[in-house]
Structure 1
Amino acid sequence: MKHIYRQTLVDMLKKSIGGEAAEKAVLQAAISAGIASKQAYSPEEFSRICDELKKRGGPIRTIATIASDTTFTTVYYQKEMVRERGRKESLARMSEVLEREVAERTRQLRESEDKYRVIFENTGTATVILEEDLTISLANSEFERLSGYSGEELAGKKNWGEFFPEGDDILSEGESKAMTGRCAFRFHDRQGGIRQVFVTLGGIPGTAKKVVSLLDVTVSKRLEAQLMQAQKMQAIGLLAGGIAHDFNNILTAILGYGSLMRMKTEAGHPVLPYIDQIVSSAERAAALTHGLLAFSRNQEIAPKPININDIIVTIEKLLRRLIGEDIELYTDLCPEKLPVMADSSQIEQVLMNLATNARHAMPGGGSLAIRTIPVLLDDAYAHEHGLVRPGRYLLLMVSDTGTGMAEATRERIFEPFFTTKEPDQGTGLGLSIVYGIVKQHDGHIDCYSEPGVGTVFKIYLPLTETAAESGKTAALPAIAGGSETILIAEDEPGIRIVINEILTEFGYAVLEAADGEEAITMFREHGERIDLLILDVIMPRLNGMEALHAISRIRPGIRAIFMSGHPADILRKKGILHNTAPFLLKPLSPHTLLTTVRQVLDATDRKQ
């Protein structure tokens, strides 16, 4: 009976869950019944305990929970199981109970394993399980993608540190860095590529194993940096645009008075060179403010379908003179016509600024290459690089073999007034202007540079289906005066006076108003003899458009020219400038002012 009992209770459990756990189950039952008091006995003592369990009278019901690594089984046994009579039936029932328990627990185990396998594979992070010695025991598919290794190659891989060769001890630092929000590490994949990852660590209870999850944040980090750069450039652009507007008002007076002095000074007069220098300096300052407006994307442009290749061919000779004889210029232009909606003068400015930048980078000579290539950009690339839309683009590449730039310099090259040149060698606006022009044309610009190797600028401009136009430069019209009466409304006294002086010098009668309301009042008093209005767009009390609407009710069809230090397209977007109204951008040159005034007056006379 003793042999039968032990074989029944112990060997059957051994078959189900293992020998050590089976004997432990019997001892647990004996301890529950008060027969045993410890967990380890000799074989003879264990046999005695089994006999004692058999001898106990009355029904004995003990529940023993047996734990192995992965299985929990509950065993029920009763007094009937050790009786001689009905022994086979009891053993059969016990076997059936155990088999059902094992089958149920196995099913639950499989379900649990499948559930956690699905979770492990679909966490959205690259996850591995590391043994105590940092051997990889399991890796999910996302980690395979991130690392470049297959699951078979990763299983058993001992050199975990090769993924972090820069000395980052993520297992000791990861948790502390996560606590402080500094949990980004540089992960090296199989091909040597570097990814930015956030690390999360966890331990498996009861073991020395660790679960390591890596979240690839490379793209989001790059987008975050691009967003911060764009916001910084936008803030600088707003500042630059405001400064340019104020300077334009000042320069209008300087240019106007300087030009009047030049007109009234006889040839050969000793003061004339000084006047010429004043006007020339004012014109350079005006070009500088236009550069600020270009960077801030507040410069007015006149886009039309143009072929970039035609522009490159047109200014190629100019570029060769610009870069000098010690620098070779190569052009590799796509034979396909590549029309883009662009302002040709602005594209010329981009090419000249990049050529100038390359010349400074090659003081000992070198080569400059300009290439055009049609490319197709998908949604992902367009979104990542801030492009308006995916589709067909023109890639304009300008590369040099110059000194190149370090990363810290490259990150700042598009900032206004940032320059690595000597104090008198440049303004630091050249690449800022390029950046502004490209962005205003819904494009994107990238810079790749390596010290001692050279620099490549890649400009992406959206292609258009409209055929390119061939533009011809019109000759400047001759200056002509007149005898008409003109009402000027301008809140800046210096600008108002200089415009009055210029118009009076060329025969016009002029009335002045300091704002929109004063202009309306003056028109009510002198309206019958006023032929033309020159209105500043932005003025106190009433702006130029509001003043024109009020005056038009007094005399419909009155002619008007608007002027402002802000570009016309910006003012039109704000709804404070009519789409078809003649417009002058400050600073005004006398030639531009007089020519526009005469054209508007003559056009109206022809209609009448």
Structure 2
Amino acid sequence: MHKISIKKRMNNARVYLGLFISLVSVFPSLVFPVNADSLQQKNVLLLHADNPLLPANIMMDHNFNSILKLTNPRPVALYSEYLEMVRFRSEGIEKKTLDLLKEKYSTLKLDLIIVTDDQSWDYMIAHGKDVFPEAPIVFCGITAGIIDVNTLKPNVTGNFKRLDVKNNFENILHIQPNTKEIYVIVGTSEQDAFYEAFARNVAAEFEKNIKITFIKGLSIEDTQKKISNLPRSTAVFYIAMYKDGTGKTFNPRDALYLLNKAANVPIYAPSDTYLGYGMVGGNLLSFADFSRNAAEIALQVLNGKNPADIPAVVSPNKNYFDFKEMQRWGIHEKNLPQGSIIINKQPGPWELYRWQVISVISIGVSGFVLILFLIFQIRLKRKARAEVLEVNAELEKSNRMLEADIAERMRTEKSLAENESRLRTLLQTIPDLIWLKDVDGVYRFCNPMAERFFGARETDIVGKSDYDLVGRELADFFRMHDRKAIAAGKPTANEEWLTFADDGYRGLFDTIKTPMRNAEGKLIGILGIAHDITARKQAEEAHKKLEAQFRQAQKMEAVGRLAGGVAHDFNNMLSIIIGYAELALNSIDPSAPLHANIHEITKAAQRSADLTRQLLAFARKQTIAPKVLDLNDTIAGMLKMLRRLIGEDIDLLWKPGGNLWSVNMDPSQLDQILANLTVNARDAISGVGKITIETGNAEFEKDYCETHAGFIPGHYVLVAFSDDGCGMDKEILSQLFEPFFTTKPLAKGTGLGLSTVYGIVKQNHGFINVYSEPGKGTTFKFYLPRHESEQVLADETHPAGKVPTGTETVLLVEDEASLLELARILLEKLGYTVLAAGSPNLAIQLVMEYTGEIHLLMTDVVMPEMSGRDLRHRLDALLPNLKCLFMSGYTANAIAHHGVLDEGLHFLQKPFSRETLAAKLREALND
């Protein structure tokens, strides 16, 4: 058995160091949790062309196993395959090996393949896509540009090594300058031929200056004879011998060992696996270095990095030399290339006995120092005796002075104790948190309020830091503000939320921290005072909310007044336009070109009327006729119409809630809400999308409503309208319900759709919330009050038929002359006898003069002399059975309370068409 060399000891040390580093790198994964993906096992295949006993393979297997398994937090299963293609290559063996690999790995998913030499690389090029179709590859082998790393990109990267024959030849000539001939020994296997090609390419460059002879094809015995009797001016360069000329196979290192025994000149070689087996050294490719580098690259791939993003690198060779062989051949260190590494060098006396020499010197120096110290102590002792006598006299004098000082100190301490008692009483009475910390953040005092916060007695708090009393995050916050106060050198204030440990109270506190200094100006601690400002902040927030609500209410009131002022006159003019247009249509042949033009005038006027109604809806000024509704039935009846609005690319989902409460509202208003929301949702969805309508019951209590502005306690029916469109940001949400605000392109929207929805919900004493984020759609939730009475639900069907007529006498009162004339014409064409009056007083005069029966009063609501309601009361005394039909563009609460018609009252909204006039008139007469 060979004696263990220094090089081997260093290798062992590297192994132990590697294991230690591996443990350190693994330790965090043991302490800290990892996610499930990092615990998934990775399967790695090592593919060797040669046998498992080859020294290079043993070394590479060891490095891959150490790095991939021990330094990687995720589990790795390592598989090794030895193709034996160097010593036993044939088509039959290759086919059987291929079949065996297919069978072994058909069901195992490989996460990585590490190819360790050129022949296994060729094997992967030929068969890899069949056996391992998707696995990334890390190449770790010899190349001189022969192997193309682009062959299997983008799944390939690696760490390449070079057989540097040129540097080795130059090293031989540098070390042995008298060399005239170099014998190159190489075997006859395919692998040997691969290496031979490198050497022959380089040999051509050197043959001008030196003779290079290749020894190939001989048996191992003949090769030994050949190199046993060479001239002293020669050297041997051994590449490899996997097989000699007789077909006998070898481990190349074993063949080197046999050749070295017979050689009479130095042998050089290109691989570090030959060190210690008979070669002097050379410019060596290190299997240990480049396999470690390849393992580090493999770790990157296993951790998710794309092989195409990892550049392939070439591991540099290093100059290694064996000291024993150098001594054998008389080679001096000075002849070696600069930076060469020497192994098996025996240490000199200083290296062997360095620590023993240092220990002896240290003991001698220590003894000398001890003697000096003892001499110094003896002198000090003598001097101290003399000083003691002097000090005794001084002490007697000091005792007398001390007695007087003690008496004075006792009086002072009593006074301080009284002051401290008063101060402590004051601090314990103050309702603020008060505490004192030293410069290290350790508590030295706290009052009862601070005890409440920590949930502990002062005796348990003093001596501890924030990290002992509260969570780390809060402790970091406290210490940060301590340091700010210290850095500022003056009191600093901040606001912070604190939760008391004793009863869970949570409040906002204004905290002031002041650096405390002693008489010399030295920092001794931090004084903290925290005052509860929760109630003040809540009052300020409530005040801000009230101001915002007041401003919003003023804005809504202003728009409402504007809408009301415009509506009356505007609707009168629209009534005239629509009425005369309809008269013209009835008198023109439908096939005439003018008929279509007048029809467009009618449509434009109707659209203007719709716009006015939207303004009134937003301002909550429109007149409504509420009915008891089951929203499930009402919405179900609208679905067909809503689907026509959105088209075929958008799904409409209807999810009615069970046992839904009733509501009391105008059905037409619900139509407006859903139509407007549906149009907005349709415009927000690009392409295919989904709209969902849901209903349900909701109950809000007082505590909830106090924290949600606009909510009132009670029972409500919820309608939720959701879409998966583009959504809205906070800036758009803040202006969403303002009239005329729109994000649609010009001429694509009026900005009144959502303001109409808002006005209708508010008019029905409900409230509305919107939830939206860009890219995540929008949900509108509006809540309508539950109707508690047991009224019979409204029948929302409207019989259709022809325009009704009549022969009764109608008293028509309208202060707008054009509209008065139009209404008279329309009524007469419907068959009625009309008494037309331009003012209320004229209408009273006509009644008093007319001798026939008057069946119905049709009057405007807002008129200069008196309102239509007052006119009716005046005529009740004259005509007790007189029926009445009010008409107006804006009621101004003249006949309605908050826009809701009185029971049994008949109302005609301006502008109106001929058909609407006929139906309302007949309805009032038949009541």
Normalised TM-score (structure 2): 0.47
Q: Which residue of 1 aligns with 2:640?
A: 317
Partner of 2:831: 507
Distance 1:171 1:351 in 2: 64
Preserved CA contact (<8 Å) 2:492 2:512 = no
**After the TM superposition, which residues 550-589 of structure 1 pair with which residues of structure 2 at under 5 Å, given as runs?**
550-567=874-891, 571-573=895-897, 580-589=904-913
Deviations 1:159-205 (A, max 9, x none): 36989xxxxxx999999xxxxxxxxx998999xxxxxx999676769
Aligned to 1:260: 583
Structure 1 residue 238 displacement after superposition:
2.8
C-alpha distance in 2 between matches for 1:304 and 1:136? 71
Contact conserved, 1:136 with 1:157, CA < 8 A, in 2? no
Residue 743 (structure 2) aligns with: 420
- What's 1:55 paired with? none
1:446 deviates by 1.2
Residues 486, 533 of structure 1: 8 Å contact kept: yes
Q: Which amino acid in the other structure matches residue 249 of structure 1?
A: N
Q: How many residue pairs were aligned?
A: 490
Change (3 A) 1:572 1:131: farther
Greater shift in the superposed pair: 385-394 or 232-241: 385-394
- Give 2:291's aligned residue: none
Retained in 1: the 8 A contact 2:575–2:819? yes
1:234, CA displacement in angstroms?
3.2
CA distance in 2, matches of 1:322, 1:314: 14
Instruction: Provide the residue aligned with 1:406 in structure 2.
Output: 729
Q: Distance in 2 between the 1:241 and 1:136 partners?
A: 70
The amino acid across from 1:521 in the alignment is Q
CA distance in 2, matches of 1:460, 1:136: 55
In structure 2, distance between residues paired with 1:130 and 1:106: 15
In the TM superposition, residue 447 of structure 1 has moved relative to its aligned partner by: 1.2
Give unpaired runs (5+ residues) of structure 1. 17-21, 26-65, 67-72, 75-100, 122-127, 164-169, 176-184, 191-196, 604-608
Partner of 1:178: none
Question: By how many angstroms is 1:157 displaced?
Answer: 3.1
Cα offset, 1:258, TM superposition: 1.2
Q: Residue type matched to 1:394 in 2?
A: V
| Gap runs ≥5 in structure 2 | 1-395, 455-466, 482-487, 500-506, 518-525
- Which of 811, 830, 834 matches 1:487? 811
1:20-50 Cα distance to aligned partner (Å, 9 max, x none): xx8xx5xxxxxxxxxxxxxxxxxxxxxxxxx
Does 2:783 correspond to 1:439? Answer: no
Is the 1:545–1:578 Cα contact (8 Å) retained in structure 2?
no
CA distance in 2, matches of 1:475, 1:319: 22
Q: Which has the higher contact order (CA 8 A, sep 6+)?
A: 1
Aligned to 1:539: 863
Residue 7 of structure 1: how far off its partner (Å): 5.7
C-alpha distance in 2 between matches for 1:287 and 1:131: 72
Give the AA of the match of 1:108: R
- Shift in Å, 1:421: 0.7
Distance apart, 1:261 and its partner CA: 1.2
| Mapped contact 1:240–1:293 kept (Cα < 8 A) | yes
Q: Provide closer, same or farther for how the CA distance between residues 286 and 141 of structure 1 changes in structure 2, counting only shifts above 3 A.
A: farther
- 3-state DSSP of counterpart to 1:374: strand
* Distance of 1:154 and 1:386 partners within structure 2: 36
Partner of 2:850: 526
Q: Distance in 2 between matches of 1:380 and 1:502?
A: 58
> CA–CA distance in 2 between the matches of 1:161 and 1:226?
41
Cα gap change, 1:203 to 1:388, in 2 (>3 Å): closer
Q: 2:470 aligns with which of 142, 149, 152?
A: 152
Q: By how many angstroms is 1:510 displaced?
A: 2.4
Change (3 A) 1:458 1:9: farther
User: SS state of the match for residue 157, structure 1?
Assistant: helix
Shift of 1:586: 1.3
In the alignment, the residues of structure 2 paired with residue 244 and residue 171 of structure 1 have an alpha-carbon distance, to the nearest angstrom, of: 68
Question: Judging changes above 3 Å, is the alpha-carbon distance between structure 1 residues 367 and 259 closer, same or farther for their aligned structure 2 residues?
Answer: same
| 1:241 match | 564
Residue 300 of structure 1 deviates from its aligned partner by 2.3
Instruction: Tell me whether 1:430 sits opposite 2:748 in the alignment.
Output: no
Residue 290 of structure 1 is matched in structure 2 by 613
Deviation at 1:388, TM superposition (A): 6.5
C-alpha separation in 2, matches of 1:142 and 1:417:
55
What root-mean-square deviation, in Å, do the aligned CA atoms of Structure 1 and Structure 2 show?
A: 4.2
Q: Is the 1:353–1:431 contact (alpha carbons within 8 Å) kept by the matching residues of 2? A: yes
1:351 alignment partner, SS class: helix
Q: Quote the offset at 1:253 in angstroms.
A: 0.9
CA distance in 2 between partners of 1:234 and 1:141 (Å): 53
2:690–2:723 Cα contact (<8 Å) kept? yes
Q: What is the aligned counterpart of 1:469 among 767, 773, 793?
A: 793
Which residue number in structure 2 is paired with residue 460 of structure 1? 783
CA distance, structure 1, for counterparts of residue 864 and residue 468 of structure 2:
71
- Partners of 2:621 and 2:899 within 8 A in 1: no
Change (3 A) 1:448 1:206: same
Partners of 2:452 and 2:559 lie apart in 1 by 41
Deviations 1:80-106 (A, max 9, x none): xxxxxxxxxxxxxxxxxxxxx84x555
State how far apart, in whole Å, the 2-side matches of 1:517 and 1:319 are. 49
> C-alpha separation between the residues in 2 aligned to 1:132 and 1:367?
63
Task: Name the amino acid aligned to 2:577.
Answer: I
Cα distance in 1, alignment partners of residues 624 and 691 from structure 2: 28
Take 1:574 and 1:4, find their aligned partners in 2: how far apart are those partners?
A: 99
Give me the whole-angstrom Cα distance separating, in 2, the residues matched to 1:545 and 1:219: 43
Give the one of 423, 447, 452 matched to 1:109: 423
Q: 1:130 to 1:355 in 2, by over 3 A?
A: farther
Q: Secondary structure at the match of 1:402?
A: coil
**How far off is 1:502 after superposition?**
0.6
Structure 2 Cα separation of the partners of residues 399 and 545 of structure 1: 44
Structure 1 residue 228 and structure 2 residue 551: aligned? Answer: yes
- How much has 1:539 moved relative to structure 2? 0.8
What percent of counterpart residues are identical?
A: 36
How far 1:434 sits from its partner (Å)?
Answer: 0.9
Q: Deviations over 1:381-407 (max 9, x none)?
A: 334545573123233222222111121
Amino acid at match of 1:157: A
Q: Tell me the SS of whatever aligns to 2:895.
A: helix
Partner of 1:359: 682
1:395 counterpart residue number: 718
Larger radius of gyration between Structure 1 and Structure 2: 2
Q: What is the alpha-carbon distance in structure 2 between the residues aligned to residue 381 and residue 234 of structure 1? A: 28
Give yes or no for contact 2:628–2:787 (8 Å, CA) kept in 1. Answer: yes
On the 8 A contact 1:329/1:367 being kept in 2, the answer is: yes
- Shift of residue 330 of structure 1? 2.4
Aligned mate of 2:772, from 422, 438, 449: 449
Describe the shift of the 1:391–1:189 C-alpha distance in structure 2 as closer, same or farther (beyond 3 A): same
Higher mean C-alpha displacement, 296-305 vs 466-475: 466-475
Alignment partners' CA distance in 1, 2:707 and 2:685: 32
Deviation at 1:432, TM superposition (A): 1.0
CA contact (8 A) 2:625 2:901 kept: no
Give the superposition deviation at 1:352.
2.0
Native 8 Å contact 2:660 2:717 kept in 1: no
Aligned to 1:33: none
Q: Deviations over 1:52-89 (max 9, x none)?
A: xxxxxxxxxxxxxx7xxxxxx54xxxxxxxxxxxxxxx
Secondary structure, counterpart of 1:271 in structure 2? helix
Which digits, 9 at most, give the CA deviation of each residue in 1:352-378, with x for residues without a partner?
Answer: 211111110112222222222333212
The equivalent of 1:350 in structure 2 is 673
Q: Relative to structure 2, which stretch is displaced further, 425-434 or 259-268?
A: 259-268
Change in Cα spacing, 1:113 to 1:441, as seen in structure 2 (3 Å) is: same
Q: Could you say if the C-alpha distance between residues 153 and 584 of structure 1 is closer, same or farther in structure 2, counting changes exceeding 3 Å?
A: same
Q: Cα gap change, 1:393/1:156 in structure 2, threshold over 3 Å: closer, same or farther?
A: closer
8 Å Cα contact 2:623/2:901 also seen in 1: no
Once residues 844 and 673 of structure 2 are traced to their aligned partners in structure 1, the CA distance between those partners, rounded to angstroms, is: 44
Q: Distance in 2 between matches of 1:583 and 1:171?
A: 78
- Cα gap change, 1:551 to 1:402, in 2 (>3 Å): same
